[in-house]
Copies of this chain bind each other. A is one copy, B any other.
Amino acid sequence: MTVPTVRTRLAAEDRRRQLIGIGLRLLVNRPIHELAIDEVAAEAGISRGLLFHYFPTKREYYIAVVRAAGNRLLLHARAPDEGTTTERVRGIVDGFVQFIQRRRGNYVALVRAGAGGDERVLEVFSSIRARIADRVIDAMGTTEPTPQLRLVVRGWLAMAEEIAVEATPDVMQVDGIVDMLVDNLNKTVQQVAGWNEGGPQFVYTPPRD
């Protein structure tokens, strides 16, 4: 007589979320090619076959994990609904920097190192960066951004990411990073505005005294 194995039954959405959560955790310490799908299934207490029911290939699973990491970042890098342009820009930058600083290992592993030349994985994070850049442009009060403005905001966001990843608290703390970045964005945008008559209206006033 076999003892029936007790397995938790989860609704499909919950199961997907559970599997993605396991990936977010395991992929901090290991590149994707070293991660065994069997191990993910075992952690979730399900069969390999059931995992492949939710994610038909290892690559699909990986893309879902990267997308989940990106969506978490999008949840944090948001402007408050109300406020001046400066307050709204600060809200996005503050959420962005804090998110990366808290989950540095995860961020570096999944976003920076994780693509492994996979076009779709690159595409996922490229589109998330583009959405954050759009939010910044929107928070600045710019409704018709020029291609130059889009380009420099994208560049500035890369700076924000690098500094958020690299800064340790003894060198620069979150508030200092955010001040620096918002100030830098303002100067960069003024510069581009100088190239185009009637450029963006974003005028940043430093919050200090």
Interfacial residues, chain A to chain B (CB-CB below 8 A): 27, 30-34, 109, 112-118, 122, 147-148, 151-152, 154-163, 166-167, 170-172, 176, 180, 183-184, 187-188, 191-192, 195
Q: Are B160 and A32 in contact (CB under 8 A)?
A: no
Q: Which residue of B lies closest to A110 (CB)?
A: B117
Q: How far is the CB of A70 from chain B (nearest CB, A)?
A: 16
Q: How far is the CB of A184 from chain B (nearest CB, A)?
A: 6
Q: Are A160 and B155 in contact (CB under 8 A)?
A: yes
Q: How far is B3's CA from A53's CA once the two chains are assembled, in angstroms?
A: 55
Q: Which residue of B lies closest to A186 (CB)?
A: B187
Residues of chain B within 8 A of A114, CB atoms compared = 116-117
Residues of chain B within 8 A of A32, CB atoms compared = 116-117
Q: How far is the CB of A128 from chain B (nearest CB, A)?
A: 14
Q: Are B118 and A31 in contact (CB under 8 A)?
A: yes
Q: How far is B66's CA from A149's CA once the two chains are assembled, in angstroms?
A: 32
Q: Which residue of B lies closest to A160 (CB)?
A: B155
Q: How far is B188's CA from A199's CA once the two chains are assembled, in angstroms?
A: 22
Q: How far is B158's CA from A140's CA once the two chains are assembled, in angstroms?
A: 22
Residues of chain B within 8 A of A151, CB atoms compared = 163, 166-167, 171-172
Q: Are A31 and B159 in contact (CB under 8 A)?
A: no
Q: Are A158 and B162 in contact (CB under 8 A)?
A: yes
**12 examples of A-B residue contacts, CB within 8 angstroms:** A32-B117, A113-B115, A114-B116, A114-B117, A148-B172, A151-B167, A155-B162, A157-B162, A158-B159, A183-B191, A184-B184, A184-B187
Contact of A117 among B31, B163, B170 (CB under 8 A): B31
The 6 closest A-B pairs by CB, nearest first: A31-B117, A116-B116, A158-B162, A155-B163, A159-B159, A155-B159
Q: How far is B171's CA from A114's CA once the two chains are assembled, in angstroms?
A: 30
**Given A33-B33, A116-B31, is A166 in contact with B155 using a C-beta cutoff of 8 Å?**
yes
